[in-house]
Amino acid sequence: MDDSPLQVLTVATAPYPDQRHGSGGLRRMVNVFQTRKHYLHNFIQSIFSSIDLRDRQGSTVMVGGDGRFFNQTAIRVIVQMAAANGVGRLVIGQHGIMSTPAISCMIRKCKAIGGIILTASHDPGGPNGGLGIKFNTANGGPASEAVANKIHQISRTIEEFAICPGLQVDLMTLGRQTFDLENKFKPFTVEIVDSVESYANLLRNIFDFAALKELLSGESHISVRLDAMHGAAGPYVRRILCGELGCPANSAVNCVPLEDFGGQRPDPNLTYAADLADSMRDGQFDFGAAFGGDGDRHMVLGKHGLYVSPSDSVAVIADNIFCIPYFQHTGVRGFARSMPTSAALDSFLETIFHFIRCRVAKATKIELYETPPGWNFFGSLMDAGKLSLCGEESFGAGGDHIRETDGLWAVLAWLSIMATRRQSVQDILKDHWLKYGRNYFTRYDYESIDIDTACEMMEDLEIIITDKSFVKQRFAVEDKLYQVEKADSFEYTDPVNSSLTRNQGLRIIFSDGSRIIYRLSGTRINGATVQIYIDSYEKERLSEDTQVMLAPLATIALKISKLHHRTGRSGPSLIT
Ligand code: G6P
């Protein structure tokens, strides 16, 4: 065997203009990475070059992903490039698989300078699907806008990358591998780890596992159905919910990660997790949950498939936050939601504050932050001790235990509420609406729209809604009349570092508080996805059909944008 030090090479390359690290990292069709010369290498080098050499040298970096097609190939390249870029130690999930929340947990635990996550989350997998590369920084959360911009700038002028082509890593065997590199004093090490235990340990310190075990496997236990959608959540669901908390093994399905997620999109909503909803319809399960491809997103269903909207989910968890022992210790620092997420959290907080103020003259209001989509904005608030709990309409919720959306955490939060209140999902949800009113919410996705058409539509729409004459305009549909109160292009100033983020969606807010929001998705792999979000508050009519309730606003949204006319579409590709 040749044990001479491995060669480090510098390879010339040419830049690509489109390597922007968005809220979900860089996402492209797999064949872009396969066919464009050094497309992967350029982006990885741009990530490493964005880290100061002094911080990079000898540092620890985490690597893992959702198990999709091409991830292992990409990880082998990342290992070769990390070694050549002075990283001292890589910690990698066995088989290259690690859920996004577990990576966030491990970055913080191992004091890594960051992590590279190979996931395109909810986008399809397989040879004809997508691939995503996301860089998370030392706090465990997605790169800030400033870091993302730096990576993009570097990628636009890159001329060379460093690589150790002879370095062959074994991703299958747990344990440490060391490699000697030429011109290097210290060996480069790779640790292949099973992250489930570290992540489970984190959850054990947040929740009351004994109470959860009683709920899930005690004498009068509830029955559950858990669908990991063949993503990275599978091993965590099996070991934590089945192995430790006692859910029967057959209650967890699709727990083996597959490169193409079994041919379906690993997006936990009623369309793509339809099997879960179907299996719950006859009432044999009290609680159901599906998890996204990288374990960050989740959907909660009650008996007979009762759907809990993600916006309601975070409001209910907020109202019951002290059912989670972790928050009994930390207290509540603040709440947050992304701007397009329904205002259910606001409705709850307004009622609660009003209620407290009636009793305590100088009641301190708990701060509510409204951020652009993307967990990096929440992470900044959490790092500054301003935020405890947050959520997004895109099936994400989490606490400040890590800096990512956390599907399993959200499910354990719901189960903790059920265990404490001894109530069903349905009763918990109905009680919530009775107390605080209900925010009906829907999102229409128009996928694979020509990028220029989508951008032109957004530009024209911005001109229309920001014209002075737009405010006070009235729109009538059937017996409903809405008057525009405010309209703008949403921008956000981070209260911690004062950085300004512009163009985060076009908002129309009506005088009754109803909202229409238009936004281009930042995470799609193919063309543009135009998203319309509709939110309307009701105090009395609590059990209506969401689509029926929101139909007048949907008509108005389409009329103002002329979306169907401009795109040639007759309806959305997806409704959530
Ligand atoms: C990912 C991120 C979320 C973000 C979402 C936005 O899931 O983890 O934090 O909200 O992407 O997706 P979109 O497609 O709406 O830009």
Q: Given the CA of residue 520, which atom of ligand 1 is nearest to it?
A: 16
Residue nearest to atom 5 of ligand 1 (CA): 374
Q: Which of 66, 375, 448, 503 to mutate to test the pocket of ligand 1 (most atoms within 8 A of CB)?
A: 375
Longest CA span, the chain: 82
Q: Which of 134, 294, 394 to mutate to test the pocket of ligand 1 (most atoms within 8 A of CB)?
A: 394
Residue nearest to atom 4 of ligand 1 (CA): 374
Residue 90's alpha-carbon distances to 68, 82, 330, in angstroms, are 20, 8, 32
CA of 223 to the centre of ligand 1 (A): 31
Residue nearest to atom 3 of ligand 1 (CA): 374
What the chain holds in terms of domains, given with CATH numbers, is 9-191 (3.40.120.10), 199-436 (3.40.120.10), 439-575 (3.30.310.50)
Cα 514 off chain centre by: 25
What one-character-per-residue DSSP string does 27-74 give?
A: EEEHHHHHHSTTHHHHHHHHHHHTS-HHHHTT-EEEEEE---TTHHHH
Contact 242, 248 (CB under 8 A): yes
Identify which of 288, 315, 267, 257 has the alpha carbon closest to the alpha carbon of residue 24: 267
Q: Given the CA of residue 121, which atom of ligand 1 is nearest to it?
A: 7
Q: Return the pLDDT at 2.
A: 62
Task: Indicate if 121 belongs to the active site.
Answer: yes
Q: Return the pLDDT at 362.
A: 67
Which H or E element spans position 416?
helix 407-421
CA of 383 to the centre of ligand 1 (A): 20
Q: What is the dihedral of CA 213, 218, 223, 227, to 10 degrees?
A: 20
For the chain (length 576 residues), average pLDDT per consecutive 10? 83 96 92 97 98 94 98 98 96 97 97 97 94 97 95 97 96 96 83 93 97 96 97 97 96 97 96 96 97 97 97 95 96 95 90 77 80 96 97 97 98 98 97 94 95 94 95 92 95 94 95 95 87 94 92 95 93 94
Q: Which of 267, 403, 523, 574 to mutate to test the pocket of ligand 1 (most atoms within 8 A of CB)?
A: 523
Contact 152, 21 (CB under 8 A): yes
Cα 162 off chain centre by: 31
Q: How many CB atoms lie within 10 A of CB 544?
A: 12
Q: Which of 119, 122, 392, 573 to mutate to test the pocket of ligand 1 (most atoms within 8 A of CB)?
A: 392
CA of 24 to the centre of ligand 1 (A): 6
Enter the tokens of residue 320.
């019951």
Residues 6+ apart with CB under 8 A from 136: 62, 103, 104, 107, 114, 115, 116, 117, 142, 143, 403, 404
pTM, whole model, 2 decimals?
Answer: 0.95
Residue 392's alpha-carbon distances to 137, 266, 377, 437, 497, in angstroms, are 21, 17, 12, 19, 22
CA of 22 to the centre of ligand 1 (A): 9
- Measuring from each residue's beta carbon to the nearest atom of ligand 1, which residues come in under 6 Å? 23-24, 121, 296, 338, 373-375, 392, 394, 396, 405, 521-523
Q: Given the CA of residue 297, which atom of ligand 1 is nearest to it?
A: 7
CA of 190 to the centre of ligand 1 (A): 31
CA of 303 to the centre of ligand 1 (A): 28
In single-letter form, the type of residue at position 243 comes to G
Identify the active-site residue in 121, 394, 514, 536: 121
Residue nearest to atom 13 of ligand 1 (CA): 521
Could you tell me the end-to-end alpha-carbon distance of the chain, in angstroms, rounded to an integer? 57
Q: Given the CA of residue 338, which atom of ligand 1 is nearest to it?
A: 10
Residue nearest to atom 1 of ligand 1 (CA): 24
Residues 6+ apart with CB under 8 A from 260: 68, 69, 124, 125, 126, 127, 129
Contact 572, 445 (CB under 8 A): yes
Q: Return the pLDDT at 522.
A: 84
